Amino acid sequence: MENFKLIKIEESLKNSLSKMNFIKPTPIQGMAIPIALEGKDILGTAQTGTGKTLAFSIPLINKLILDKNAYALVMCPTRELASQVMSAIRSIISDKINIKTALLIGGEAMQKQLRQLGNRSRIIVGTPGRINDHLKRRSLDLSKTKYLVLDETDRMLDMGFTPQIELVLKFIPKNHQTLLFSATLPENILRISDRYLKNPKRISTGAISVPIAKIKQETLQIFKENKYDELVDQFLSRKGSILVFVKTKRSADKMVKRLKEEAHSVDAIHGDLRQSKRDRVINSFRKGLKRILIATDVAARGLDIPLIQHVINYDLPQVPEDYIHRIGRTARAGSEGSALTFLTSEDRSMWNSINKLIDPNFKSALNSLRKKIKGKRRGKRIKNKKSKIREEKKLSFKNKKKLFGKRRLERSFRDNEKKNFDFKGKSNLRDQRKSFRNRKLDKPVKTFEKKDFLFKKKKNLFSKKKTRPNGYTNNPKYFGKKPLENLSIDEERKNFSFKRKKKFKNRNNRPKNFTFKKYNKKRR
């Protein structure tokens, strides 16, 4: 099929395609549209940027023109892709066709979507999560759906939408046409096609895992700490719009903040942004208001921006297939583009798996490059304070070894001299010490007398006195008494009596009717 005019579609649809300057179809469009118009299921695989959206949207609109009671559902993995598919469909629908649409995606107001569904929208485009939300609310009725499209199915399965897709398929009637499109074709998709597609026609254009030939691919071996500086150098050396892919949302926000401080026209797009903010960022990048766009893998699929001239992989993707989708953002619709990838020593295994996906006969040559990098690093070592200290320690250790050897020789000479030398003087000293000890023993010892003297003194100290002990007291009657010399302390204790105590012992003398007058007055 060389021209859209040769396709057997309605005249109103042909006129709208000619207004949009769609004259020559792409290979995937030329193969898919005639089969889809026959009402057969399709399992289509093609590279990104080859026009898959029109391949399913043209037969979709044509079927709804013919059957005015039929509905169509298009499911996409991301909000960006869903909104892009919707804009492509709306551009084809002219005033004469008069088919209403509804976009059901997260991050947008529910009331707006409910209004769209209330106006009998026959073309519904959305993400699996939001479609399921409307099904639970019973605001969406899929009982009349006769045309189902699963776009970028491999991406939907990677994102964990398999159970949600299966829930949606339960609400769709069995007699419907299914079109499944994907950039890659893993085993998961083949299983789904066996379950939900009826004798599908297999369509594929070009190699699935090979990027577009017009993309100039480059790699740069770099250390991790020098990545940001090299990125800024690439911004200055390159002309045109640049799309930079990073691994996480946090690193995207950090990079944007740092680049804005350095006066670069830059913005970020990732999963945490609201849909209104995402739309603003993409529109400003499309119009050329922002030159640099920092993105996560959310933007790897479905972003159709013809202005993107350069793609830089600051971080490698987590899945090898995503590399093809990333670099597929440039060289759209036949234009040329370039893709640069930063490679560190940590990216060796992932880079090998990416190359094996593109070329099965690939042999890893990164080990040799790694060795070269290590050799260069050793040669260009900068002498810091620590390295100087280490060198000094090495030198000192060598000097110590030399000294230690000299000292060993000196000790050996001394030992030999000691063996040969007779110590006569030492024997004389020993004799003198013995005589001195004997002299000490001959002297009379007066220790016994001292001991007797001390013992007597102790006896006098501990002997009991018959007199009253001199002490301190606060009793005033004590000072008037004379000391009793004959009585001992024990006898005094026996004769001593507390006269005041006797008063308290005789309780009969106490007054019986005792009252507190003060307290009685208060109680009355």
Q: For residue range 46-72, what is the model confidence (pLDDT) as tens digits? A: 766 677 888 899 999 999 999 999 999
Higher pLDDT, 474 or 3: 3
pLDDT digit string, tens, across residues 251-261? 999 999 999 99
Q: How confident is the model at residue 95 (pLDDT cuts 50, 70, 90)?
A: confident
Strands 308-313 and 71-75 come out as unpaired
Equal CATH topology for 4-205 and 215-378: yes
pLDDT for res 459: 47
Domain edges within the chain: 4-205, 215-378
pLDDT digit string, tens, across residues 351-391? 988 888 777 666 665 454 455 544 444 444 445 556 667 66
pLDDT for res 137: 92
Higher pLDDT, 446 or 198: 198
Return the biggest CA–CA distance within the chain.
152
Work out the percent of the chain whose per-residue pLDDT is above 70: 64
pLDDT for res 113: 93
pLDDT for res 257: 93
pLDDT for res 72: 95
- Give the CATH class of 4-205: alpha beta
Can you tell me which residue has the tokens 């991406």? Answer: 155
Q: How confident is the model at residue 513 (pLDDT cuts 50, 70, 90)?
A: low
Q: What is the mean pLDDT of the chain?
A: 76
Would you call 127 helix, strand, or coil by DSSP?
coil
Q: Is residue 17 pLDDT above 90, yes or no?
A: no
Q: How confident is the model at residue 406 (pLDDT cuts 50, 70, 90)?
A: low
pLDDT for res 307: 73
Q: Is residue 400 pLDDT above 90, yes or no?
A: no
Average pLDDT, stretch 24-37?
A: 88
Distance separating alpha carbons of residues 122 and 290, to the nearest angstrom = 36
User: Alpha-carbon Rg of the chain, whole angstroms?
Assistant: 51
Higher pLDDT, 483 or 183: 183
Higher pLDDT, 464 or 305: 305
- 195 within 8 A of 165, measured Cβ to Cβ: no
Edge to edge, the sheet with strand 71-75 lists 101-104, 123-126, 71-75, 145-150, 177-182, 42-46, 201-205
pTM: 0.57
Distance separating alpha carbons of residues 143 and 90, to the nearest angstrom = 23
pLDDT digit string, tens, across residues 99-138? 999 999 987 888 999 999 988 899 999 999 999 999 999 9
Cβ neighbours of residue 128 under 8 Å, at least 6 residues apart? Answer: 75, 156, 161, 164, 165, 168
Q: Describe the chain by its helix, strand, coil percentages, rounded to 5.
A: 50, 15, 35
215-378 under CATH 3.90.1170.50, yes or no: no
Q: How confident is the model at residue 19 (pLDDT cuts 50, 70, 90)?
A: confident
Q: Considering only 99-103, 382-386, 452-456, 490-494, which range has the smallest mean pLDDT?
A: 452-456
pLDDT for res 342: 94
Average pLDDT, stretch 203-229?
A: 78
Higher pLDDT, 472 or 317: 317
pLDDT for res 449: 46
370: which 2 tokens?
Answer: 């790694």
pLDDT for res 234: 92
116: which 2 tokens?
Answer: 């769209």
